[in-house]
A = this chain, B = another copy of it.
Amino acid sequence: MITAAPGDLVQILDHEGRFFYFRLAPGARLETHRGVLRHDDLIGRPYGSKVLTHLGRPFYFFTPPIHDLVNDAKRQSQILFPKDIGLILMKLNVRPGLTVLEAGTGSGGLTLALANAVGPTGRVISYDVRPDMQNIARKNLELAGMLERVEFKLRDIKDGFDESDVEAFFLDVPNPYDYCAQVHRVLRGGGHFGCLVPTVNQVSDLLISLQREWFVLPEVCELLLRNYKTVPARLRPVDRMVAHTGFLVFARPILPSAHEPQKVITAENAESAEE
């Protein structure tokens, strides 16, 4: 039976279905709107059990999954949704030990998920031009205990990147079409490029830029997440949902070639890649 230990990051569930996150420290106390929780009342008890505040109000306590850490991360900007991040991890082949780049850092929602997925032997290098945003991201990573996996760089990415032969890059800036050349230089041939943009105009501009800068296999998609009310005898979708988080764009860099005109290769129009 796995029990809570000092230093563990825990999430507790309140009566309204919200989570709160903190690290266990002997002697510490958590003030809640429903009374005081003594950390010592959690330490040594099995996860998934109930703990009471000094007012006798119950909380369940758990270890938080990366899904919830991203969802509940502190933010000063729109953050990537777990549904989108999940697909990004698959498309960019993020895995233990990998070095992956992102720009910009934003509030660090994706940074968290990348750091979680590359593990202690991997590395996330995250560029942003705004120190205030990186400070928020830093706090989110520190809480999650993954700060040492991330290297933050404060930089206008029009000046390019320090790295080379990187396998995976995620670009989350308002004008991604302005940086495709820089991104191509940092990626290794056949690597993975991903991007999220909110408007269709950005998608069009990005596709043009990707084609010009020697990316192939462009893909554009969106994911719609629909939740259901969980009453077995009255099962139905919830009333309202998020209609749009952004368009995901993926592509893969190839080596430039002097001897041929550049063509877009996709599953749809791959024939055009023929000489």
Interface residues of A (CB under 8 A from B): 1-2, 13-18, 46-50, 58, 60-67, 70, 82-83, 85-93, 95-97, 113, 116-122, 165, 167, 188-192, 198-201, 203-205, 207-208, 211, 216-244, 247, 252-255, 257, 264-271, 273-275
**What are 27 inter-chain pairs, A to B, with CB distance below 8 A?**
A13-B216, A15-B271, A16-B267, A16-B270, A17-B268, A48-B252, A50-B254, A50-B255, A58-B273, A60-B273, A61-B190, A66-B93, A67-B93, A86-B86, A86-B87, A86-B90, A95-B119, A96-B120, A97-B119, A198-B234, A221-B225, A223-B224, A223-B226, A230-B269, A237-B243, A238-B243, A240-B241
A227 to chain B, nearest CB (A): 5
Q: Say whether B47 contacts A189, CB under 8 Å.
A: yes
Contacts of A235 in B (CB 8 A): 199-201, 203-204, 207, 220
Known pairs A95-B66, A255-B49; A239 contacts B242 (CB<8 A): yes
Indicate if the CB atoms of B16 and A271 lie closer than 8 Å: yes
Please tell me if the beta carbons of B2 and A165 are within 8 angstroms of each other in the complex: yes
Cα(A63)–Cα(B192), bound, Å: 10
Which of B49, B113, B198, B229 is close to A236, meaning CB atoms less than 8 Å apart?
Answer: B198
Q: What CA separation (Å) do A191 and B67 show in the bound complex?
A: 13
| Chain B residues with CB below 8 A from A240, complex form | 240-243
**Residues in B neighbouring A242, C-beta threshold 8 A:** 239-241
- Judge whether A236 and B200 touch: CB under 8 Å: yes
Residues of B within 8 A of A96 (CB): 96-97, 117-122
Bound Cα distance from A203 to B216, whole angstroms: 27
With A65-B92, A119-B95 known to touch, is A14 a contact of B270 (CB < 8 Å)?
yes
- A41 CB, min distance to chain B CBs, angstroms: 15
Known contacts A13-B270, A48-B253, A199-B235: does B119 contact A90 (CB below 8 Å)? no
